[in-house]
């Protein structure tokens, strides 16, 4: 990541909105923005499959579910944050991963310019492919600051998206089972 380019660009943004970039409290803001972007977009050059490569063999293929995983991402349309929770359910095919490893994959995917629908789809694809599981279902519930701070200005709106792979695409009873457990 080229922090100096981000600093220069943010100096121009400050000028563009009519601020004095030399004002005392703004003098280090371009540098702080660049540093925060380094963290906010730290998933760009990382492989979300990598955390899932270390798995454990299991004898049963019962449903595995991890819910209410907090996430933060940046909407690629307005470069404003969106945030919420992600629920992941999968049916193994002889192997499972640690719960923290799923969180690491989420962090990698969320720390990129993103849209919610693609975030869920990419996460479902990564888990389905890497674990070679029977099926995966990802549910994301999020608030988008581009809808609450500007535009529609609807503070309590929440966007819910799902992504299903494998058995969850074909078997509505399995989807209902996950949704029931989430309540």
Q: What is the pLDDT of residues 116-170, one digit of tens each?
A: 999 999 999 999 999 999 999 999 999 999 989 988 888 889 999 999 999 999 9
Q: How confident is the model at residue 43 (pLDDT cuts 50, 70, 90)?
A: very high
Q: Show the tokens assigned to 87.
A: 């629920």
DSSP secondary-structure letter at 23? S
Q: What is the 3-state secondary structure (H, E, C) of 9-24?
A: HHHHHHHHCCCCCCCH
Known binding positions: 75, 78, 146
Q: What is the pLDDT of residues 46-83, one digit of tens each?
A: 999 999 999 999 999 999 999 999 999 999 999 999 99
Residue 183 pLDDT exceeds 90 = no
Are 124 and 138 in contact by the 8 Å Cβ rule? The answer is: yes
Known binding positions for Zn(2+): 75, 78, 146
Are 75 and 114 in contact by the 8 Å Cβ rule? The answer is: yes
Query: What confidence score (pLDDT) does residue 161 get?
Result: 98
Q: How confident is the model at residue 89 (pLDDT cuts 50, 70, 90)?
A: very high
Q: Nearest-CA neighbor of 48 among 114, 144, 147, 139? A: 114
**C-alpha angle 130/83/16, rounded to 5°?**
115
């Amino acid at each position: 990541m080229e922090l100096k380019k981000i600093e220069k660009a943010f100096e121009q943004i400050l000028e563009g909105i009519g601020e004095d970039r030399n004002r005392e409290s703004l003098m280090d803001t371009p540098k702080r923005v660049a540093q925060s972007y380094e963290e906010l977009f730290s998933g760009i050059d990382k492989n979300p499959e990598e955390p899932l490569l270390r798995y454990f063999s299991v004898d049963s293929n019962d449903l595995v579910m991890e819910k209410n995983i907090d996430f933060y991402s940046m909407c690629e349309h307005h470069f404003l944050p969106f945030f919420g929770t992600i629920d992941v359910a999968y049916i193994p095919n002889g192997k499972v991963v640690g719960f923290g490893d799923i969180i690491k994959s989420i962090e990698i995917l969320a720390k990129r310019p993103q849209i919610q629908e693609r975030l869920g789809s990419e996460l479902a694809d990564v888990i389905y492919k890497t674990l070679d599981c029977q099926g995966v279902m990802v549910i994301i519930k999020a608030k988008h600051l581009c809808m609450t701070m500007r535009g529609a200005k609807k503070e309590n709106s929440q966007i819910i998206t799902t992504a299903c792979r494998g058995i969850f695409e074909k078997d509505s009873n399995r989807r209902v089972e996950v949704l029931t457990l989430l309540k």
